Structure 1
């Protein structure tokens, strides 16, 4: 998309209230322009023939054709970045996972009641999702279905990772940095991360070092995501629970809407799953995980930052690097959005930059160093 031009958006939703409110929310951002609205996919298809938008926001439940079917047809015939906007949460988790696999770049969850109020309160996150989608690489029907999902539970509260993590005690600093026989891998991802993570984890052997992941996803989604990966990978994958031990061959995925913190007791590493304010615009936050790894694991850790919009994780990776951890970033060519890796690279806290297909090998190599 040309530099300086507004992101042109087509809104597809059968609710007139949602169309009107979402248009007002998006046009409140000076970098976004709503070029039209459509009440169903057939109307949307006619509008696309007249003018191709940069991004489409798409509902799931609509008359005449559901959003998933339309998304698949769109990606096969005329790929356009799509942000799904749906009220399907618990009962429809698998449906929205299908949307990610079909090629949706992002998902915004709208509540079933009080839609207008919640959409207005979540203006920043909705606009961020659309702008991230406009920057995403979409390659047609063969495009890997890389995507993330972002909840819209509450108004934005801009806070730093310091709000989640107390300063390290001087008496514990040496103990925290002491070498152990185990390496802990911490991975952060956002836009494009669901399929990128699958591509990496599928390459790892069953005796891989313990891994903790923060992928920006809504509540309820991470359990299904973990189960899907567990069925595909040689390593064991589960949604993290408070007190879970980080073990070789096990991958823990931070639950949606909860921060996940790496902690250490003697030679044992485990995770704490906590409520808390948004950090770097997210919960879970990559910065929270990475900063906890710097304090609890130090040089025993490997940090990996992958595709995603924004800068979540860059400050935390800087702290990991300073504490002796080895750090890796996904390269621009294979990132759906080169925001998070770029921020870390710009800070000078990345030891290795690698394409997606080599990240698994780089993780194993770093863990043996």
Structure 2
């Protein structure tokens, strides 16, 4: 007897929205080459896209930022009124205007973004860039979680192996790693921290140049803390958030005058620059067990090895839970390796950071509540 028929694997349906005929064709051709992806329709602007989303019910939408009639940001705002969970990937130019609009779209509810090919004159290069950026995101957003560990109940401490015999020092620096879904997760965490935070916060978010500038500027407008794109050589001060510039690694460096930012153009790690592993390793050298690492939503495993170095010294680790992560890759890798002290929903991370800070920060609890 022949074996019983198996259920056909789910094919991800995509709606491609862009005012450029060339880009629509390019994206459609790239996606159609993947047997697990099917382009179910295209649209030249947001108004037509909203009608097609209601009709076609795609699994994911790729959405241009700059379009006539209804642009990308406006489209996301309208879409989220009726489709709060539909994955939306913004398609942005590498310009200041494009980066600013993309960050605004992420704040409005877009899920992730990719950048348009820098050299549209080279078809092969453009195809490669779109394929390498877009397809992994589509599969990550519409597929199964990268790490299928059993989700832990919110705010439940994790019993990790004892790795350091020495006492844990009071926290001197908070380190945050994030990627896919990170901009909005960072905004949620950072805007709930008080201006009186007695330590610096160092952030490695996977983003290209210009985009990190706009991200820091937008969060700074909302947060009580000072939020900046880091500059090489500046001192690491309490109450300030330093976001690694796109395209550059950021490290903490020990100097006679105190800890400072060090930026460099070293090789990519985990296909990333800035890389979370680079930041976390440097903080292990500078702050050791006085570090508090926080792993937020993101694809892949960047930050896992750096977290291992921190845990070996006795540092604390918080990880975002699966239920509130856009992609539970980076935090899932940390949790699956038994490195996290606690796995928390996004909304509880800020108050847990404050709770672990020195006693001088205890009086800031009321301010944390104020920024929720």
- TM-score by length of structure 1 reads 0.81
Matched, 1:60 2:65: yes
Structure 1 residues 321 and 71: CA distance shift in structure 2, 3 A = same
The offset of 1:24, in angstroms, is 2.5
Matched, 1:198 2:187: yes
Counterpart selection for 1:185 from 174, 188, 194: 174
SS in 2 for 1:303: strand
**Is the CA contact (8 Å cut-off) linking 1:227 and 1:238 kept in structure 2?**
yes
**Is the CA contact (8 Å cut-off) linking 1:106 and 1:133 kept in structure 2?**
no
Aligned residue number for residue 359 of structure 1:
349
Structure 2 portions without partners, runs of 5+: 1-6, 146-165, 360-372
Counterpart selection for 1:69 from 67, 74, 80: 74
SS in 2 for 1:91: helix
How far apart, CA to CA, are the structure 2 residues paired with 1:7 and 1:76?
23
Counterpart selection for 2:306 from 297, 308, 316: 316
**Is the CA contact (8 Å cut-off) linking 1:132 and 1:191 kept in structure 2?**
no
**Is the CA contact (8 Å cut-off) linking 2:141 and 2:326 kept in structure 1?**
no
Aligned residue number for residue 369 of structure 2:
none
SS in 2 for 1:246: coil
CA deviation string 1:56-92 (max 9, x = no partner): 1111233433222222221113342111112262133
CA deviation string 1:230-283 (max 9, x = no partner): 222222111101112111111100011111112212572222111133321222
How far apart, CA to CA, are the structure 1 residues paired with 2:141 and 2:275?
20
- Per mean C-alpha deviation after superposition, the further-off stretch among 107-116 and 195-204 is 107-116
- Per mean C-alpha deviation after superposition, the further-off stretch among 189-198 and 297-306 is 189-198
Matched, 1:107 2:107: no
**Is the CA contact (8 Å cut-off) linking 1:84 and 1:107 kept in structure 2?**
yes
The offset of 1:46, in angstroms, is 4.3
Matched, 1:252 2:242: yes
How far apart, CA to CA, are the structure 2 residues paired with 1:219 and 1:298?
29
Aligned residue number for residue 219 of structure 2:
229
Count of equivalent residues: 329
Matches within 5 A, 1:108-147: 108-111=114-117, 113-114=119-120, 116-122=123-129, 123-134=131-142
How far apart, CA to CA, are the structure 2 residues paired with 1:70 and 1:206?
34
How far apart, CA to CA, are the structure 2 residues paired with 1:4 and 1:358?
36
How far apart, CA to CA, are the structure 2 residues paired with 1:227 and 1:48?
32
How far apart, CA to CA, are the structure 1 residues paired with 2:301 and 2:326?
15
Counterpart selection for 2:290 from 300, 320, 341: 300
SS in 1 for 2:40: strand
Matched, 1:368 2:350: no
How far apart, CA to CA, are the structure 1 residues paired with 2:183 and 2:341?
24
Structure exhibiting the larger radius of gyration computed from Cα positions: 2
Matched, 1:210 2:200: yes
Structure 1 residues 278 and 42: CA distance shift in structure 2, 3 A = same
**Is the CA contact (8 Å cut-off) linking 2:94 and 2:210 kept in structure 1?**
no
**Is the CA contact (8 Å cut-off) linking 2:119 and 2:126 kept in structure 1?**
no
Structure 1 portions without partners, runs of 5+: 138-176
Aligned residue number for residue 22 of structure 2:
17
How far apart, CA to CA, are the structure 1 residues paired with 2:194 and 2:48?
48
SS in 2 for 1:62: coil
Aligned residue number for residue 238 of structure 1:
228
Counterpart selection for 2:10 from 5, 8, 17: 5
**Is the CA contact (8 Å cut-off) linking 1:83 and 1:133 kept in structure 2?**
no
